[in-house]
Structure 1
């Protein structure tokens, strides 16, 4: 157990619990972690953390017995990269146990102690003795994951960017339109580098929507995964303005796109270090790699039309995400194409009740506005800068960056537009 180089005044023991959005972009490397617990509460927390998407690269095991069990186990074999021990011992027994653990630890092993006393003096002494972190119980899952992530964050390293997946409840509901306009609005309205990846490999529309020549950027990235780095990614993506980069699909029907679940891992890792926000425009299909990207994204935006089939599909998607992302914020719901003449539709409150998710935005049906923008290869914000719809995409992008919901003013603007267009009150 290496001695800590830090000396002097220390921060108090950490207690803060965090939510999913605050820890979504943590990158934890491929390490082995062992947790030794004394309480059932921490054991349950550690088991839940081991199953979380942020620790999917790690090999995490949970043992009972606390510090004595760790000493006994590692007296017979090598220690993992990180050992986390829970203790209720008093000072003398605690330091004796940690000294015994140090005798059997590799010098590269990091040690975290989870205690039950909020004692600054104890914290300082533990750090001076070489413990990498002291955390006060109880911890929730996010607090435990954040503690692990902090240990492996390089000093001065740039904060990794967020990844947001846009997915349509059905084909044709406008998920790509929402994704592309949100990406453009973010890059145009904020000082943020945005990367848009069109993942509809045979039929993607990013090239048409932005009026750019579509290369085979996505396939080049995943076909050359061993060579992929920030330099190669910059070469194969298309720049649209100063802040927006677009990675286009191959758009060829000569090949089948039967991809593996992990084929996009390298691309997503590089994207995180290249842009503040990466937007994945996912096709409406249900494959292993689509499910993986939805599960691993920091945020998910579901676009749906207000009818029964969309409502059923949204409920299924939301249920899936809640089961695979139990410690993340819920997805954001965009209801699109509201008010198509003569089409019966489910009102937003009833839709929200059925899927147990409030819409972040409800966008009115406006074929002239969206049709003209699409035919010109331009975004809504370019063709109608002051329209409530354009502002709504700005607010949706802001919410993805900040982790907060779309502002009430944006929702009010969209709703008032719908009222004017379709006579609603």
Structure 2
């Protein structure tokens, strides 16, 4: 390479580094790109190697929109899909509609086209496409788009918060929460943060065979300096896409919190991770009430007896008053069919709550005990156990990915699905 070319190369790298210097680190999002040309694939691949993308998962495929349609016919869509197409404006819009039945609600789409057409740009953004770029693109442009979608402090929260609470102590709410969190991370290859809010008696560290030196106590007691970097240092990695904010499970102090004690933690977690699962202890005070009032979804886990029915009814009625514009809590009935124990039938339990049970989990102490003793989820020790299907169904429901992949129906519009995110 000549000195002149080396100088030009160095100048280009310097310009690119200067262009990304002000960007915030990208949170734990999944990004997949489907390109048609090496000229677009290379800068996207370079973006994946940048230090600001260390937490994100970015993969580059070739084949363009058609390859994406084929791929997502049997796979979940990521937080962001980047698509390159050399088609003219009319053909591009038509081909994008092929994604309609394979694009999960909530996924964002960025299109890289080869036609500088302001009318096309306006049409795509009006219909729900997050951004339209004109090729050729540079690594800083790719980084800036991703940062604008997920790292902008003024953007809507990235993470969806799901709180699990037991109608009564000992009904297995923590076990259900941990297994559903694991299922979400496994099914959708989407990052999940599981926070154990039961500081004195939490079991998430045991159930995942973890013994972190720090965890949720440091986050709560240092709320004034809590940010994304500090939170990241407190997380224990349980699986490829699952991180744990563990409880200390110690009685060396009392844990008396104010109503807003966990607000900073939840808001920080929402900015960094697509799904945040909160394991809320069975208690009723200012902070548990505040947490359950603020999250996106609440799951009430109950056993089929009279005390659980009374408590579940009180919880459901209270949460409906606190959250009048949100969907009602989801009901999970656990520990069903215990031998010789009289129990309330699922339909009779759900009727006074005016809810349909979202999941029914049978009593199986051998299977769940074996999993707990080995620090594993039920799906890890017995993938064919009936409870695994229940947890997978809940994972789909809580993430909004409850529509099965199927053949395209006439008139179904990708853009309408994107507008529902």
TM range (shorter): 0.5 to 0.7
**Cα gap change, 1:258/1:406 in structure 2, threshold over 3 Å: closer, same or farther?**
farther
Question: Where does structure 1 differ by over 6 angstroms across 4 or more consecutive aligned residues?
Answer: none
Alignment counterpart, residue 188 of structure 2, candidates 169, 187, 190: 190
Within 2, Cα distance between the matches of 1:316 and 1:214? Answer: 36
Q: Which residue of 2 aligns with 1:391?
A: 389
Within 2, Cα distance between the matches of 1:405 and 1:170? Answer: 32
Q: Which has the higher contact order (CA 8 A, sep 6+)?
A: 2
Q: Which residue of 2 aligns with 1:376?
A: 374
Within 2, Cα distance between the matches of 1:227 and 1:305? Answer: 40
How far 1:404 moved relative to its partner? 5.4
How far 1:241 moved relative to its partner? 1.6
**Cα gap change, 1:294/1:406 in structure 2, threshold over 3 Å: closer, same or farther?**
farther
Alignment counterpart, residue 252 of structure 1, candidates 240, 250, 271: 250
Within 2, Cα distance between the matches of 1:363 and 1:406? Answer: 22
CA contact (8 A) 1:165 1:279 kept: yes
Within 2, Cα distance between the matches of 1:330 and 1:169? Answer: 15
1:345 has 2:343 as partner: yes
Within 2, Cα distance between the matches of 1:322 and 1:308? Answer: 21
**Cα gap change, 1:196/1:224 in structure 2, threshold over 3 Å: closer, same or farther?**
same
**CA offsets 1:31-90 (integer angstroms, 9 cap, x no match):** xxxxxxxxxxxxxxxxxxxxxxxxxxxxxxxxxxxxxxxxxxxxxxxxxxxxxxxxxxxx
Within 2, Cα distance between the matches of 1:406 and 1:214? Answer: 38
Which structure 2 residues correspond to residues 236-275 of structure 1 after superposition, within 5 A? 236-275=234-273
CA contact (8 A) 1:360 1:406 kept: no
Which structure 2 residues correspond to residues 108-147 of structure 1 after superposition, within 5 A? none
**Cα gap change, 1:346/1:191 in structure 2, threshold over 3 Å: closer, same or farther?**
same
Within 2, Cα distance between the matches of 1:282 and 1:261? Answer: 14
Q: Which residue of 2 aligns with 1:163?
A: 161
Within 2, Cα distance between the matches of 1:406 and 1:237? Answer: 33
**CA offsets 1:106-151 (integer angstroms, 9 cap, x no match):** xxxxxxxxxxxxxxxxxxxxxxxxxxxxxxxxxxxxxxxxxxxxxx
SS in 1 for 2:255: coil
Within 2, Cα distance between the matches of 1:300 and 1:182? Answer: 13
Q: Which residue of 1 aligns with 2:298?
A: 300
Give the TM-score of the pair, scaled to structure 1.
0.58
Within 2, Cα distance between the matches of 1:247 and 1:192? Answer: 17
Within 1, Cα distance between the matches of 2:251 and 2:229? Answer: 29
**CA offsets 1:271-298 (integer angstroms, 9 cap, x no match):** 0011111010001110100000000010
Alignment counterpart, residue 310 of structure 1, candidates 308, 311, 323: 308
SS in 2 for 1:160: coil
Structure 2: gaps of 5 or more residues: 1-150, 406-421
CA contact (8 A) 2:161 2:278 kept: yes
The CA RMSD measured in Å over matched residues stands at: 2.0
**Cα gap change, 1:238/1:301 in structure 2, threshold over 3 Å: closer, same or farther?**
same
CA contact (8 A) 1:214 1:249 kept: no
SS in 2 for 1:226: helix
Within 1, Cα distance between the matches of 2:343 and 2:373? Answer: 27
Alignment counterpart, residue 283 of structure 1, candidates 271, 281, 284: 281
**Cα gap change, 1:404/1:314 in structure 2, threshold over 3 Å: closer, same or farther?**
farther
SS in 2 for 1:262: coil
Q: Which residue of 2 aligns with 1:181?
A: 179
Q: Which residue of 1 aligns with 2:331?
A: 333
Q: Which residue of 1 aligns with 2:353?
A: 355
CA contact (8 A) 2:360 2:390 kept: no
Q: Which residue of 1 aligns with 2:100?
A: none
Give the TM-score of the pair, scaled to structure 2.
0.58
How far 1:331 moved relative to its partner? 0.6
Within 2, Cα distance between the matches of 1:267 and 1:406? Answer: 34
Q: What is the total number of aligned residue pairs between the two structures?
A: 255
Q: Which residue of 2 aligns with 1:319?
A: 317
CA contact (8 A) 2:305 2:344 kept: yes
Within 1, Cα distance between the matches of 2:177 and 2:370? Answer: 18
Within 2, Cα distance between the matches of 1:229 and 1:156? Answer: 15
SS in 2 for 1:188: helix
How far 1:191 moved relative to its partner? 2.1
